[in-house]
């Protein structure tokens, strides 16, 4: 009777353990993906990119239709700079390495207003690939907000996963002790 009861508990717990493991892996993969796509590039830019001076040749507010009568916006700058006497001229985003468009135009217009065409400004380039440059470092601390909920869920699920695993081990030990004469 005890063996059958323990076997049922262990089977139920294993299904729960598998579900918890899948949720935990999902949280880990989401956090890793978000970090590698949104946080690491800017962290690397701050640590590795080399500062130089660039000339601002043009600036514009790019608008992209997201649906009828709705637009997304991005501040773009045409910069010119030289690395090892090799000239580079290209468009860069007003948000670090992030080239995504956003819903509101006012913050992008504010960024554009901080720069005057024809002036020289500090900019940063990737020493491994000097064609990649940044005029405005992205320093939005709230870019980490999407990590909060998966982190909390991951910690809670990890706690219950360990609790569940210990319960399975405990029940397995009870079952094996019951087999001994």
Q: In this predicted model, what pLDDT tens digit does every residue of 19-61 receive, in sequence order?
A: 899 999 999 999 999 888 888 888 888 899 999 999 999 999 9
Q: What is the pLDDT of residue 154?
A: 93
Mean pLDDT, residues 163-173 taken together: 85
User: Rounded to whole angstroms, how far apart are CA atoms 157 and 165?
Assistant: 12
Q: What is the pLDDT of residue 167?
A: 86
Q: Which residues contact 95 (CB under 8 A, 6 or more apart)?
A: 74, 75, 111, 136, 138
Among 50-54, 93-97, 132-136, 175-179, which range has the highest average pLDDT?
50-54
Q: What is the pLDDT of residue 56?
A: 96
pTM of the predicted model over 0.85: no
Mean pLDDT, residues 100-110 taken together: 88
N- to C-terminal Cα separation, the chain: 16
Structural domain boundaries of the chain?
2-38+146-179, 46-142
Mean pLDDT, residues 112-131 taken together: 94
User: Rounded to whole angstroms, how far apart are CA atoms 2 and 155?
Assistant: 33
- pLDDT, tens digit, for every residue of 138-151? 766 667 788 889 99
What secondary structure letter does DSSP report for 169?
A: H
Q: What is the pLDDT of residue 38?
A: 81
User: Rounded to whole angstroms, how far apart are CA atoms 133 and 61?
Assistant: 19
- What is the average pLDDT value for the chain, to the nearest integer? 86
Q: Pick the residue with more confidence: 38 or 154?
A: 154
């Amino acid at each position: 009777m005890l063996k059958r009861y323990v076997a049922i508990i262990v089977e139920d717990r294993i299904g729960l353990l598998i579900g918890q493991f899948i949720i935990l892996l999902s949280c880990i993969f989401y956090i890793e993906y978000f970090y590698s796509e949104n946080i690491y590039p800017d962290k690397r830019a701050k640590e590795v990119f080399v500062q130089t001076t660039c000339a601002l040749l043009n600036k514009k507010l790019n608008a992209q239709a997201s649906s009828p009568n709705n637009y997304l916006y991005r501040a773009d700058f045409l910069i010119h700079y030289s690395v090892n006497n090799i000239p580079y001229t290209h468009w860069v985003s007003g948000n670090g390495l992030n080239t995504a468009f956003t819903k509101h135009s006012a913050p992008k217009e504010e960024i554009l207003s901080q720069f005057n065409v024809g002036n020289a400004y500090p900019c940063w380039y990737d020493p491994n690939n000097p064609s990649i440059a940044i005029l405005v470092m992205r320093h939005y601390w709230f870019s980490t907000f999407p990590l909060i909920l998966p982190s909390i869920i991951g910690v809670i699920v990890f706690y219950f996963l360990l609790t569940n695993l210990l319960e399975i081990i405990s029940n397995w030990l009870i079952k094996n002790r019951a087999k001994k004469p």
